[in-house]
Structure 1
C-alpha cells in the first residue's frame, strides 16, 4: 500500500536510509564520511551554476552543512556511486511542495556523458511513485542546459513552460524550462528497467 505524502515522519526517515541499486549504480544516503568527495565533485562552476541552491566556490564546509541538513530537511537525497563505489554525484527529491515533489540531480564533470544521471533519476522516480501516493513529480533545468533537459525527457517528463528561478551560484535569476511527470505517464514507461532496493 502506498504511503501518504511525507512530512518529517518515520516513513521519510526510512526512505532516507533506503539503498537503491540499478545496473551500474548504487544510491544511498550521504554521510559525513562523504563530505570530501561531495565537495570535490561539486566545486566546479560548470556544476553549481546549473543548480538552484549550491554556492560557488563549494567547500567542505558547504558539503558538511548539506549532509547535516538531511536529518531535518524536507528532502530525500541519495549519493550516486558508480562501479567500485566511486561517488559521482547527487540525486534527490524536495518535498517542500507535497502535491508536486521536485526531483533534482547533479554529477561531477568527469562523469558527464555516461548516462548516470538518467539511470539515477529513473531509480529515484520509481522509488518515489512506488512508495508514496503522489500523482506527479516536477523538475526544472536551465534553458542553457540541454543535457539536463534531455535527462528529464528520457524519464518521461513533459515541458510545461519557462519560469525565472533564483540561482545562488550566479546571484541572479535565470530562465529555466519546467517539466512535469504524471503517474500515468510514468506507469506507461515503467519498462525502462528494474531498481533493486534494500534497507
Structure 2
C-alpha cells in the first residue's frame, strides 16, 4: 500500500473508516456535478460499497486509490486515484476534493505527489486525465501539475440527461524524465 507525504498532505490508502466522511463531502451537489461517477443525491451506505469495490480492484492491480488527508490533523478532504491500463502502460488520473477545501492548492499538491510514482513505481508510459470543459478548476490542476492539453473530446460523456465535452490532458514518461 502506498503512502505519500507532501508539505501539507498525507495520501494514504482509503479505509472503511473513511466512509462517513466520504459521504459527507461527496453528497455536496457542487462536488458531484464536477465528476462522472459521484451520484447525486449520494446514497446512504454508498461510500462503504465504493471503498469495498476499490479495495478489491486494488488487490487485482487495477487501481491505486488514496485518501487525501491534511498532514497537521489527519482530516480527510478528498480522494485521488490512478486507474491502470496495463496492456497499454497508461493510467487515468482521477481526483476530487471536498468543497470546503477548494481553491487552496490541495489537489495540485496531491497530483504532483503521484506523478513520480506513476512512472517510477507503476512503470506507466503515460498518465492522463479528463475533466468537464466547464470545470476549469480541474483542468487547471492538470496544467499546474505538468500535464499537457491534448484536445477536447466533444460530447464524450452523458450525465444527468446532457452530453458534456471533456478536456483531455496527458503526460508521457519521456517528457516527465526530460522535465524533472
Q: Same fold (TM over 0.5)?
A: yes
Q: CA RMSD in A?
A: 1.6
Aligned with residue 65 of structure 2, among 77, 81, 90: 77
Q: Distance in 1 between matches of 2:37 and 2:150?
A: 22
Q: Report SS of the residue matched to 1:59.
A: coil
Q: Distance in 2 between matches of 1:40 and 1:110?
A: 11
Aligned with residue 87 of structure 1, among 64, 76, 81: 76
Aligned with residue 166 of structure 1, among 157, 161, 170: 157
Compute the TM-score of the two structures, normalised by the length of structure 2: 0.89
Map Cα deviations across residues 66-113 of structure 1 (whole Å, 9 max, x no partner): 100022222110000013001110000011464221001100000001
Higher RCO (CA < 8 A, seq sep 6+): 1
Richer in strand (by share) = 2
Compute the TM-score of the two structures, normalised by the length of structure 1: 0.81
Count of aligned pairs: 173
For structure 2, list consecutive stretches of 5 or more residues without a partner in the other structure: none
Report the equivalent of 2:109: 119
For structure 1, list consecutive stretches of 5 or more residues without a partner in the other structure: 1-16, 191-199
Q: Which moved more, 1:73-82 or 1:170-179?
A: 170-179
Q: Distance in 2 between matches of 1:148 and 1:75?
A: 20
1:35 CA displacement: 0.3
